[in-house]
Amino acid sequence: MKISLLKKLSLAFLITVLGSILITNLISNYMVSKKFDTYLIAQRKNEIEKVKKSAIDLYDENYSDSSSCYDSNAKSQLKRYSKSENIFIEVKNIKDKVVFSSSESDSHKDGMMNSNMKSMMHNHMINKYSSNYEYIEKDYPISKGNKKVGTITIGFFSNSYLNEGSLKFKSALNNSFLISAFIALVIGLIIGIIMSKGLTSPLLKITNAANKIRNGNLKARANLKTSTKEVYELRNSINYLAVTLEKQENIRKRMTSDIAHELRTPLTILKTHIEGLLDGIIKPTEENLESFYEEIERLINLVENLRNLSRLDESELNLNKSNFNISKETIKITNSFEALYHKKGFKILKNIDSNIIVFMDKDKFNQIVYNLFSNSYKYLPINGEVNISLKKECNKIILKIKDNGCGIPSKDLPYIFERFYRSDFSRNKKTGGSGIGLTITKKLVEAHNGSIKVESKINKGTIFTIEFPL
């Protein structure tokens, strides 16, 4: 089952907040409760010490009442301590006779201890505190000077330090933790939903734009504003993809028209000439046969370029590298073009460093230079010239082919290496190519880990610069 990103992010944020709150509450509650209990236990010990000290200070072994060593005020004070501190107090004299008990009733004036009083006191404390806690009694000696005169017994439950006020405080503390956790959970959920929507909303817009592009609407764009870096880059990538696909689609349409035109023109000429030959209107002269040959040659070149481009796309180029003198090879290619250039009145100027040895594919290098020379030849004006230079600089070889031809419009420069792309200038030339030669040239250069760039100005000329690493 597919779950939306909004739900996933909201749920993840909610679980994170809930887990954080739960852990924080447990740790905080445990630490605060432990510290508070430690504080109360310390307070209980101080109070017991205070009661013990008071009982010892108030003890009078020479009191006139033989059954007790405390007067009425002392007894009242000790009973108040017993009640306020929730402890049992019992004092015995040196003869182990009970002279005071906090459970003693005022009606027992005879000083005799009711045998059930201690049990009643225990029951009273058990009713007040949970029976799960241990009842503890401790005996302390009563001394006057250096003489022991009696014993005081103090009894309490192990949780007796939890008086009503402390219990209320702990309950209020726990409730405050629960309320805080609930409020934090609600706030976290709201913030999580807002943040998730803030993230998923632009993604949905980008997705919608991508779906439109997938369905053929190449003009669709992801138009949104975002401050999230990743979403911003994704938006730009989708828009760049749309722009690229749109350009490629336009190039394909243009290519279809160009290829149809390139094929139709020579085929129409051939058909017309052959019909003329069949009808006896045209004679099979050398001039007419030469015209046939030129048209057939155009068709062969076009098909060959298409085949080469297809082979380049099918897989990586298999380079047959070897060591050779690139200086001599460049001069050799240049010399092969001189006769063709001279026939049109063009010049080729050479500035080639001698004896540069490279490890490259010789045939592919020849094709690179051949394509660039052929390209320059098509667009040279009267008295045009091409300057070729080959230099070795540091760890690279720089090949430049500069001409004074008609140039390339600046709007076309970014696209001239794209397949089937031809500027308006080249389209209007009868000798205009198919727009594949420079694409092939760039692929061959990059196969050698090289780079190619172009500079051009209208009616000033064009410079192709190629760099090969040594």
Return residue ranges of the chain for CATH 1.10.287. Answer: 229-296
**229-296, which class in CATH?**
mainly alpha
**5-166, which class in CATH?**
alpha beta
Superfamily, domain 316-469:
Histidine kinase-like ATPase, C-terminal domain (3.30.565.10)
Return residue ranges of the chain for CATH 3.30.565.10. Answer: 316-469
Instruction: Provide the H-helix boundaries in 156-228.
Output: 164-214
Neighbouring residues of 64: CB distance < 8 A, sequence distance ≥ 6: none
Distances (CA, A) of 180 to 30, 169, 189, 195, 338: 16, 16, 14, 22, 90
Distances (CA, A) of 220 to 206, 223, 224, 230, 445: 10, 9, 12, 20, 35
Residue 24 in tokens = 């924080």
> How far apart are the C-alpha atoms of 384 and 214, rounded to whole Å?
48
> How far apart are the C-alpha atoms of 33 and 445, rounded to whole Å?
76
> How far apart are the C-alpha atoms of 418 and 446, rounded to whole Å?
14
pLDDT at 152: 84
Residue 17 in tokens = 């907040």
* pLDDT in single tens digits along all 470 residues of the chain: 566 666 777 777 778 777 777 787 778 777 777 777 777 777 777 877 787 787 777 777 665 444 567 777 877 887 887 777 777 888 888 788 888 887 765 443 333 334 444 444 445 444 444 445 567 788 888 887 778 888 888 877 665 555 566 667 777 777 877 787 788 778 877 877 777 777 778 888 888 888 888 888 888 888 888 777 888 888 888 888 888 888 888 877 776 776 777 677 778 878 887 888 888 887 888 887 887 787 787 788 778 777 766 666 554 567 889 999 999 999 999 988 888 888 888 999 999 999 999 999 998 899 899 889 888 888 888 889 999 999 998 889 999 999 998 888 888 888 888 766 666 555 444 445 556 778 888 988 998 999 999 999 998 899 999 999 98
Return residue ranges of the chain for CATH 3.30.450. Answer: 5-166
Helix (H, G, I), strand (E, B) or coil at 302: helix
